[in-house]
Chains A and B, each alone.
Chain A
Amino acid sequence: MTQKKVCLLGAAGVGKTSLISRFVSSIFSDKYLTTVGVKIDRKTVSIGSEEMSLLLWDIYGQDELQTVRPSYLRGASGYLLVADGTRRATLDTARDLQQTAESVVGNVPFLLLLNKSDLDKEWQVDERSLWKLVEGGWPVVKTSAKSGAGVEEAFVKLARNMAGM
């Protein structure tokens, strides 16, 4: 079974840990996030008849006090940029992180996950902005860690991209 290192990047509080905690197998507690700054979990996805093991590096959310350690990105075959649809500023953080990731790992597949899609009333990212991102070559998936909507599809889509399909 092929293994791939996948990093989850995003501003603090966008729901990265929530996104994976319900859908992956884990042996480490969340305290690693605040101590080492990263927690690693596994997510196995099926791509056709093949299975792919995604080693998900849940990297501590970037904020004013802490930036993502580039060393954690090394060797990643892909990454998920996570933004909070109810906080537009997190989209800017995602843009910054994308540049950081690209400088470290190069042009590898990635997805932008606009999380908290279940909170329609508080949604701040308009369709026009989204369209601009898509036009710029950013694949975007709306997800909800709460309901699970879009989560599985996002993992599968990234896996397919990493497999060159």
Chain B
Amino acid sequence: MGNSAAARSEPPSPAGTEASSRFAELRSLLVGPEQRQLRALQARLDDPGTQAREVSEVLPQAVELRTNDPQLTRALGPSIEEGISGLVRRDPRQLADALFPVIMPAIRKAIAATLSGMLESLNRTLEHSLSWQSLQWRITALRTGKSFAEIVLLNTLVYRVEQVFLIHRKSGLLLQHAYAPTRTDRVLGASLTSALGSVQDADLVSGMLTAIRDFVQDSFRVSEHESLDTLQVGELSVWIEQGPHAILAAVIRGTAPSGLRATLQEALETIHAQFGDRLESFTGDSSAFDAAHLVIERCLLSRYMTESKRRPPFLPIIATAVLIAFGVWAFMTWQSRARWNRYIESLRAEPGVVVVSAERTGGRYVVSGLRDPLARNPATLLSSHGLDARQVDGRWQLYQALDPSLVLARARELLHPPDGVALQLAGSVLTASGTAPVDWIDDAVRIARAVPGVTRFDSGNVIDNSAKALAREIEAAALLFTKGTSTLTAGGDDALSKQIERFRMLDRLARAADRRFKVDVIGEADADGPPESNLPLSRRRADRVRAALAAERFERIEIAADGIGSSQAARANSTDDEKQRNRRVSFRVTEAVRPGGSTAR
């Protein structure tokens, strides 16, 4: 320092200058290198850029050495927080883009946990359902170790991702497109043609999808991170997943499980991780994303009902057989029950049968009630209704029914009407018509009143007819006499006995019907003798017969006798047979005057 001051105050002498020069030279020789080093060090210390470079070289190692030092954390914390806050304020998207690959798996995990909770809730709900199908699914869940709800979803959800569009978010241009050939396509080998056709339109669809998303976002003024994520048209739906630079749109037919959205998100994350830079600087060349085709192709998932059910082949056969057997059993049961019902209906309609109860007990049909002995036997109706008598127990108590048909049947059974007699029932009046023997009429009048359901027996018609028939027989049976006498011809006594028997029956009929008859006994003679002798002869013949009849003392028959001579006899030149027929006694029967007045023949 003192030398320097001297140099500034006094000009150096030539000798001094030379000495100084030599000293400097000496100094340069002795400490020159050190001086240069010192100057270099000085320059390094004075240059902030150099200092920064040198510090940056050791900073990572220094920070690494103090990683666990709280002092360092405290020292750096405010700066880092300030830096991040500033970044968020300036451009939040930058941070969102940076965090996207990290945060999406975390979100997905959270959603998966929520879904798991929902599945458990659904599981509990379904546990209360007791349908046959739910029982099957429960067995499957036990067998496979999956939750019941998962099995339910597997069996109920059928879907197919038909197309996947990878779209540049900013421009709406199509980056990649994958589509699933339908089963028909695979069968016909038409996949290539369809693929070309689909790709041609996919560019426009991609753009329109983007436009619609923008339209919805603009219309409802939602934030940039909220956007249209689902379109639903009939059984087609479009699921849209949005990333920072690209959008994945999946066209789905049917109902897809919610897990598919996680698949789409995963694919989108992969694409952003692999093609992030290219997406950011995309200028329209989609060939840069050819490798992404494989990624979106993995999203072409599908589930078919037939594919998810790997049942053993014999199960459908057994199930079919069981169904058929059940169907046959049900049909036969229904048929048997229908027959039984028809049988019971017919029993209820049957006269003389009262069904009290009809039921099925212990595999057998049991019917009980009241039955008239004259009614149809219920057992005989079984076969006509297709029922087996061995399966039916009939428990019947006998009774007498008052059905008209049964009353009539009972009357017939008790009265045994002979041929020629008809019985009819009108109300409670039993009427007999036709011609009947007197004995039957007597019995019928007596018995008919005792038939249940019959209050009166009308035998008038049958008595009339029988009386008329008897009268005709009496009138047809003339008694023949020998010539000139009142003596009956040979065999005449027998004829007279038979005639007397007819009179007896007529008398009984008259008594039964409370009537009276008059019989005129008319004697005749042939024309061989003179009329004055024939008339007395004819009267004697009539008296002879009347006497025989009077001996019987008929209560209801009046007998009158008279002779008419030969007034009605054949001429003298008649044959002997004709003359014999004139030697006779004939009868004429009329009904006597009734107390009311009239007389009937």
For residue A28, which residues in chain B have a CB less than 8 angstroms away from its CB? 204, 208
A4 and B284 CA atoms in complex are apart in Å by: 5
Alpha-carbon distance between A62 and B203 when the two chains are bound, in angstroms: 26
How far, in whole Å, are A32 and B212 apart by their CA atoms in the complex? 10
CB distance from A145 to the nearest CB of B (A): 21
Please name the residue on chain B nearest to A53 by beta carbon. B203
Which candidate, B35-43, B170-178, B580-588, is the interface stretch facing chain A?
Answer: B170-178
The answer to whether A75 touches B168 (Cβ under 8 A) is: yes
Expressed in whole angstroms, the Cα–Cα distance for A113 and B170 within the complex equals: 26
Enumerate chain B residues within 8 angstroms of A52, measured Cβ to Cβ: 284
Whether A69 touches B218, Cβ cut-off 8 Å, given contacts A5-B207, A57-B207, is: yes
The answer to the question of B69 belonging to the interface, with a C-beta cut-off of 8 Å to chain A, is: no
Q: Does A101 contact B (CB under 8 A)?
A: no
Size category of the binding interface on chain B: 20 to 34
Q: Assuming the A-B contacts A5-B207, A40-B208, are A77 and B283 also in contact, with contact meaning beta carbons closer than 8 angstroms in the complex?
A: yes
| A75 to B284 CA separation, bound complex (whole angstroms) | 10
Report whether B218 and A2 are in contact in the complex, using a CB–CB cutoff of 8 Å. no
The answer to whether A5 and B172 touch (CB under 8 A), given A27-B201, A27-B204, A40-B208, is yes
On whether the beta carbons of B207 and A75 are closer than 8 Å, the reply is no
B215 CB to closest chain A CB (Å) equals 5
B553 to chain A, nearest CB (A): 129
Assess A72 versus B211: contact at CB under 8 Å? Given A27-B201, A27-B204, A55-B203.
yes
Q: In the complex, what residues of A have CB within 8 A of residue B208's CB?
A: 28, 32, 36, 40
| Chain A contacts for B172, CB-based, 8 A | 5, 55, 75
Judge if B286 is at the interface, Cβ distance under 8 Å: yes
Determine whether A34 belongs to the interface, using a CB cutoff of 8 Å to chain B.
no
Q: Is the CB of A41 within 8 A of B173?
A: no
Within 8 A of A (CB), among B248-291: 283-286
Is B217 an interface residue, CB under 8 A from the partner? Answer: yes
Partner of A3, one of B170, B174, B215: B174
Do A37 and B170 have beta carbons less than 8 Å apart? no
Contact A55 B215, beta carbon cutoff 8 Å: no
User: B284 near A69 (CB under 8 angstroms)?
Assistant: no
A74-B212 in contact given A27-B204, A40-B207, A55-B203 (Cβ < 8 Å): no
* With A27-B204, A28-B204, A42-B203: A76-B215 Cβ-Cβ less than 8 Å: no
* Interface flag for B214 (CB, 8 Å): yes
Pairwise interchain contact A55-B173, C-beta atoms closer than 8 A: yes
Let me know if A107 is at the binding interface, CB within 8 A: no
Give Cα distance in the complex from A3 to B218, angstroms.
25
Q: When the two chains form their complex, are residues B204 and A75 in contact, meaning their CB atoms are under 8 A apart?
A: no
**Cα distance A109–B214 in the bound complex, in angstroms:** 23
Once the chains are docked, how many angstroms separate the CA of A52 from the CA of B285?
10
Taking CB atoms, residues of chain A closer than 8 Å to B285 are: 2-3
CA distance A40 to B203 in the complex (A): 9
CB distance from B276 to the nearest CB of A (A): 17
Chain B min CB distance to A107 (Å):
15
**Closest-CB distance, B419 to chain A (whole angstroms):** 101
A9 at the interface (CB under 8 A from B): no
Given known A-B contacts A3-B174, A3-B286, A71 and B203 have beta carbons under 8 A apart: no
B206: min CB distance to chain A, Å: 8
Are the C-beta atoms of A77 and B203 separated by less than 8 Å? no
Residues of B within 8 A of A41 (CB): 204
Which residues of the partner chain A approach B215 to less than 8 Å between Cβ atoms?
Answer: 36-38, 69, 71
A72 touches B171 (CB 8 A): no
Which residues of A lie under 8 Å from residue B203 when comparing CB positions?
3, 42, 53, 55
Within 8 A of A (CB), among B138-185: 168-174
* Complex interface bits, A36-54 against B, C-beta within 8 A gives 1, otherwise 0: 1110111000000000110
Pick the contact of A77 from B205, B217, B284, B286 — CB < 8 Å?
Answer: B284
* Beyond A3-B286, A57-B211, A71-B214, 11 extra complex contacts between A and B, CB < 8 Å: A3-B284, A4-B284, A5-B173, A26-B204, A32-B208, A36-B208, A37-B215, A75-B169, A75-B170, A76-B171, A77-B284
Question: 6 pairs across A/B with beta carbons < 8 Å?
Answer: A2-B285, A3-B286, A32-B208, A55-B203, A71-B217, A76-B171
